[in-house]
């Protein structure tokens, strides 16, 4: 799928590259969704684009996130988002800027999620007059997106916290949810660090001298720093939540151990008495006593009740 924003504010959509003619395209933005090799080759041949950044984008080297040459500047952003199972995963988003315009490359899964959250995302680019304004919009959009997804995760963590702390109820499912949220928060944090690094590198690039967006990017970097603080707060809250649950589990286990101790003592003493008088020695005077049987039963009963009363006063029960 190809979406093209022309300079006359019209949006052109095409399923294949064969439907387009490079001679008739006067565009600001060209977006490729689920891009294919044929489309990449078409762009190489007709617009002389360099796609080196797409080859090793999973590496840690900065060249896998930001590349610049005399003809273009390329960005790779890892965008965290919610999949169909409502779990946070990440997908790559590539942006290439040339004098001809701006090119976007992403998967349909990521594009569908973004369109669901920001229904007018692509149409909003219509208001931009030139490549500089389009690039500025992309920087602002990425920064705002990190704020939105962090805020969304924060709300989910707060809801989970209320369910556990206020309702005092938790299960294995809640523990799994905490682990899931922790992982999602880590993905956002990692992507945010990469994005901050790319923004800072772009500020030092030769392309920035042409675009003159330094002040705007500084503002976005300040926003990313604030978002990073919220992400750290999410980590702290999840850690506190895990510690609270662990403490509750320890308290419940202590209560169980106390109950087992009480039961053991209450049973062991009568069992001891029964064991003594079950030895059948000849010289056991109590065996010939008329009231020996009920007395022993009474002693066994008292030996069970008295420890119970003792532990009750000690507030073990």
pLDDT (0 to 100) of residue 68:
81
Which tokens hold the place of 147? 């704020």
Q: 104 with 95: CB under 8 angstroms?
A: yes
Q: Residue 193: in which H helix or E strand, if any? A: helix 172-203
Q: Which residues of the chain have pLDDT under 50?
A: none
pLDDT (0 to 100) of residue 189:
92
CB atoms inside a 10 Å sphere around CB 56:
12
Digit-coded pLDDT (tens) for 153-185: 999 988 888 877 766 656 677 778 888 889 999
Furthest C-alpha separation in the chain: 120
pLDDT (0 to 100) of residue 59:
62
CA distance 77 to 116: 20
Digit-coded pLDDT (tens) for 182-222: 999 999 998 898 888 888 888 888 877 777 778 888 888 89
CA distance 124 to 120: 6
Residue 213 DSSP SS3: coil
pLDDT (0 to 100) of residue 122:
65
pLDDT (0 to 100) of residue 57:
64
pLDDT (0 to 100) of residue 274:
79
Strand partners, 105: 32, 94
Q: Which one, of 162, 171, 310, lies nearest residue 249 by Cα?
A: 171
pLDDT (0 to 100) of residue 277:
74
Q: At what angle do helices 214-276 and 292-313 cross, to 10 degrees?
A: 160
Domains located in the chain, CATH noted? 2-250 (no CATH), 251-313 (1.20.58.340)
């Amino acid at each position: 799928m190809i979406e093209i924003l022309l300079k006359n504010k019209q949006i052109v959509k095409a399923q294949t590259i064969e439907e387009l003619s490079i001679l008739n395209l006067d565009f600001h933005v060209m977006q490729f969704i689920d891009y294919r090799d044929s489309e990449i080759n078409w762009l190489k041949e007709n617009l002389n684009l360099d796609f080196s950044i797409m080859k090793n984008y999973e590496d840690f080297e900065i060249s896998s996130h930001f590349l610049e040459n005399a003809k273009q500047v390329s960005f790779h952003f890892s965008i965290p988002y919610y999949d169909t199972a409502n779990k946070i995963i990440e997908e790559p988003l590539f942006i290439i800027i040339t004098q001809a315009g701006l090119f976007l490359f992403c998967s349909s899964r990521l594009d569908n999620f973004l369109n669901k959250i920001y229904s007018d995302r692509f149409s909003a680019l219509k208001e931009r007059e030139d490549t500089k304004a389009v690039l500025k919009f992309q920087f602002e959009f990425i920064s705002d997106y990190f704020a939105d997804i962090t805020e969304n995760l924060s709300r989910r963590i707060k809801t989970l916290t209320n369910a556990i702390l206020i309702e005092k109820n938790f299960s294995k499912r809640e523990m799994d949810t905490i682990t899931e949220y922790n992982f999602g928060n880590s993905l956002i944090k990692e992507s945010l660090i990469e994005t901050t690094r790319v923004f800072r590198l772009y500020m030092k690039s030769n392309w920035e001298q042409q675009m003159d967006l330094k002040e705007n990017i500084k503002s976005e970097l300040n926003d990313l720093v604030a978002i990073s603080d919220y992400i750290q707060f999410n980590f702290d809250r999840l850690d506190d939540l895990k510690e609270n649950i662990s403490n509750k589990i320890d308290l419940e286990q202590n209560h169980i151990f106390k109950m087992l101790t009480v039961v053991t003592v209450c049973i062991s003493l009568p069992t001891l008495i029964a064991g003594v008088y079950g030895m059948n020695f000849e010289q056991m005077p109590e065996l010939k006593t008329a009231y020996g049987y009920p007395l022993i039963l009474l002693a066994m009963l008292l030996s069970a009740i008295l420890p119970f009363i003792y532990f009750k006063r000690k507030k073990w029960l």
